[in-house]
Amino acid sequence: MSKDNFVLSTGYLKKVVPLLMKYQVSATPTNYALWYTYVADADTDLSKEINESIQATGTLSEVQCDQLYQSHFADKKVKEADDFQQSLQALALEMGNTMQDTLKDTDTFQSTLDKTFSQLARVGEETLSMDETIAVVRSAVKGSNQIRQSTSFFKNQLADAQKEIERLKETLAQANEEALNDALTGLFNRRAFDAELDALASKPPPKGFSLLICDLDHFKSFNDTYGHLMGDQVLKLTAKRLSDYCREGIQAFRYGGEEFAILVPNRQLNGACRVAETIRASIDRLVIKDKKTGKKLDNISMSIGVAQFEKGEKIKSLIGRADALLYEAKSLGRNRVMPIA
C-alpha cells in the first residue's frame, strides 16, 4: 500500500467509527465494510440509500445495515447458496448412479436365479450328474455373493447420504434462521421486525414512530374455500401493495400467517392512521381472480390497529395496544382502521 493510500484509508477510518457510534451500529466487519464504502463514496447507489434512510428516520438500524450489506456485498452469500445447491445435486447424482448399479446387479442376479432354478427343476425330470449339480449351486452362490456385496455397498452409501442430508438440513435451517426476509412474500420477517422495533424504541426518530398491526379479514375461510395455493397468492398480492407504501422510512413486515406489521417513523397517531386508511382502501380494491377459470373470487379486506410509541414505553406494551385496537376493528365489523382518525 502506498503512503497516499494509507493516509486516505486512515482518513476513512476516522470517519467510520464516529458514524457507527452516532447511529448506534455494531462495529461488526460487515457494518464496517458498509460504512467504509459509504464514507469513501465508492458506491453511489449505496450512499443514496443510506442518505435517504438517515433523512427519513434519523438513523440506520441494524436490520437496514444487514439488508444493505446483502444487496451490495452479497457475493459470499450467493456462493454459499451455490455451494449448497451443488452439494444437493452431487448427492442426488451419486445416489442415482449407485441405485442404478444396484438395480443392474439385482437384474443380473435375478437372471442367474431363474436359470439356476430352471436347471435344478431338471433334477426331478432327468438325471443330473454330481458335477453338473455342483456347478449349478456354485453359480447361484457366486451370484448371491455379488448381489450381497452390491446391496451392502448401497446400504453404506445410504448411510453416508443420510449424514450428508442431516448436515445440509442444519445448514439450511441456520440460513433460514439468519435470514431477514419472509420466503413467501419477500417482506421482512418477524425476526427483522423484532430487531427493527427494538432499535426504534431504543432511539426513536425525532418525531417518534407508530406501529400498525394489520390482519386480513376472514382469511381462514378464504383458504378453506379456494385452497392454500390461492391463499398464498393473496398473501403475495397483499405484500406487494404494502411494499408500495414503503417510502419515507416506512417498513412492512410479515408478522405471522395473514398478519402484517408496519413501522411508520416520524408520524404522530393521526398521520399514521391516515397511512393505515390508505393501505386499507388499497387492499379493499384488490381484485382476486382464479387464473384457470378467470372467475372473480371473494373480495379481500384488512383490519388495522394503530398505536403511537410513547417515550419510555415497553415494546410489549406498544404491540399490545396495537393488537387491542386491531381486535376492536374486527369486533366492529372488520375492514376498518382503529382508532378512527
* Model pLDDT, residue 214: 98
Question: Taken in order 222, 225, 227, 229, is the CA torsion positive or negative?
Answer: negative
Bond prior to 206 in cis (omega within 30° of 0): no
E strands present in 57-187: none
Asked if pLDDT for residue 3 goes beyond 90, the answer is: no
* Per-residue pLDDT tens digits for 238-266: 999 999 999 888 999 999 999 999 999 99
Residue 104's pLDDT is 60
Quick: pLDDT tens for 101-160.
Answer: 555 655 565 666 566 656 556 555 556 566 666 666 676 666 566 656 655 655 565 566
Alpha-carbon distance of 204 to 59, in angstroms, equals 9
Per residue in 280-330, pLDDT tens? 999 999 888 877 777 787 789 999 999 999 988 999 999 999 999 999 999
> Which pLDDT value is given to residue 264?
95
In the numeric block, the cell 449339480 is attached to 133
Q: Whose grid coordinates read 406487494? A: 240
pLDDT tens-place string over residues 94-104: 555 555 655 56
pLDDT in tens, 267-280: 889 999 999 999 99
The 10s digit of each residue's pLDDT in 64-90 is: 888 888 778 765 555 555 555 555 555
Tell me how far CA of residue 29 lies from CA of 26, 66, 126, in angstroms.
Answer: 9, 11, 85
Global pTM value: 0.60
Task: Please give the residue that has the higher pLDDT: either 192 or 8.
Answer: 192
From the list 235, 326, 322, the residue with the least C-alpha distance to 283 is 235
pLDDT at 1: 46
Say whether 52 is catalytic. no
Cβ–Cβ under 8 Å, residues 271 and 208: no
Among 62, 80, 258, 259, the one annotated catalytic: 258
**Which CATH superfamily groups domain 190-338?**
Reverse transcriptase/Diguanylate cyclase domain (3.30.70.270)
- What single string gives the DSSP state of each residue in 188-256? B-HHHHHHHHHHHHHS--TT-EEEEEEEETTHHHHHHHH-HHHHHHHHHHHHHHHHHT--TT-EEEEEE
Please answer whether residues 81 and 45 qualify as being in contact, where contact means their C-beta atoms are separated by less than 8 angstroms. no
pLDDT at position 174, please? 60
N residues, the chain = 341
Residue extents of the structural domains in the chain? 3-73, 76-178, 190-338
Q: What is the pLDDT of residue 32?
A: 80
What pLDDT does residue 54 have? 83
User: Which tens digits make up the pLDDT trace of 29-70?
Assistant: 778 888 888 888 888 888 888 888 888 777 788 788 888 887
Q: Judge contact between 44 and 73, C-beta under 8 A.
A: no
CB-based contact 322:213 (threshold 8 Å): yes
Q: Which of 4, 63, 10 is nearest to 39 (CA)?
A: 10
Q: Tell me, what's the pLDDT at 88?
A: 57
pLDDT digits (tens, 9 = 90+) for 160-182: 656 665 665 566 556 555 578 88
> How far, in Å, CA of 61 to CA of 196, rounded?
7
